[in-house]
Amino acid sequence: MESNAAIVDLEKLGMEIKKDCCLAQYSNTKTGGNVDVVIFPHSLEQLKVSIQLLKQLSTPVVVLGDMTNVAIASKNLNFNVICMSHFVNEPIFDAQNGILTVTAGYKMKQLSRWALNHSISGLQWMEGIPGTVGAGVFMNAGYLAGQEFQDIVIDTQVLMPDLSVQTLSNKDLNYSYRHSSIQGNKGIVLSTRLLVRVGKKWKIRAKMAQYHKRRAKNQPLNLPSAGTVFVPPTPYHVGGMLPELGIIGYRIGGAEISPKSPGFIVGVDHMTGEDYYEMVRFIQRAVKEKYNIELEPEVRLLGFNDDKTE
């Protein structure tokens, strides 16, 4: 009954929690089975208490943001979730030094609009990227060359597993494609400081419109997906290899290799996490056989047999 006791303690403390929660209602892929509890901390104190109480349980804890870069198994899942999407304060702009401080739960799309309204340039590329700033820092999210978090992060506050708060510089984060050192040290992003600049609102708006038009033309924005599936196997490109393999539009269950953007797996008919997972493995096998290249997913695959979370 430790589980019930810990959840009761969380409720007594006024924490925002969801019990027996189906993750499919939150994930961008519309995939995911049930977990015992999802906790939505609003402050550092609540986050620390959540971690301490969840340690009483025998199940692992997975920290997620807006669940935009995950595909999740449909079964009853052997982990609980701390969701940082409500860990939000108003951004703080130091105009003299061009520094914008943003909390982890702030949505990237929302931040780009906030920046526009305050005539802040440098974040236009976020206008169409789903997910939170914390997740963006964690995975070095980005769009085009020179438009990734590694290009604008000054430093980031991180809650470490021992519940100490550390400030990691851009160098400390050891950024590479969709990777940061936080993924290895099991830290939780609390806030980040970004290097930006004051700009002219009309120019910022025009650049955002340009990016939006490009995304709408090239990406299947109207269908459930987790965005680009694989780390680009430099110098090759997955979106170029799959047409050569003749598998564009191929379906497994409700998952489809997007005809509009072959680098995406999209949901076309009640896609399950298992459909998505099997499509990932199918593409990996096909590319390995044809090109002898091992594709690495950048999408997090949670709750499957080879998932180290469980």
Query: What amino acid positions are annotated as catalytic residues?
Result: 178, 298
Give the DSSP H/E element, type plus range, for residue 139.
helix 133-139
How many whole angstroms separate alpha carbon 21 and alpha carbon 95?
42
For residue 75, CA distances in Å to 25, 31, 254, 282 come to: 14, 10, 17, 21
What one-letter code names the amino acid at 258? Answer: S
Range 71-99 burial, b when 16+ CB lie within 10 A, else e? bbbbeebebbbbbbbebbeebebeeeebe
How many whole angstroms separate alpha carbon 129 and alpha carbon 255?
21
Q: Which residue in this structure is represented by tokens 């089975």?
A: 33
Burial class (CB in 10 A: 0-12, 13-18, 19+), 291: middle
Q: Residue 16: which of 46, 44, 36, 45 has the closest Cα? A: 46
Give me the phi and psi of 159, to 5 degrees please: -85, 120
Q: Are 70 and 55 in contact (CB under 8 A)?
A: no
**HEC profile for 78-95?**
CCEEEEHHHCCCCCEEEC
How many whole angstroms separate alpha carbon 84 and alpha carbon 141?
16
How many whole angstroms separate alpha carbon 27 and alpha carbon 30?
5
- Count, residues in the chain: 310
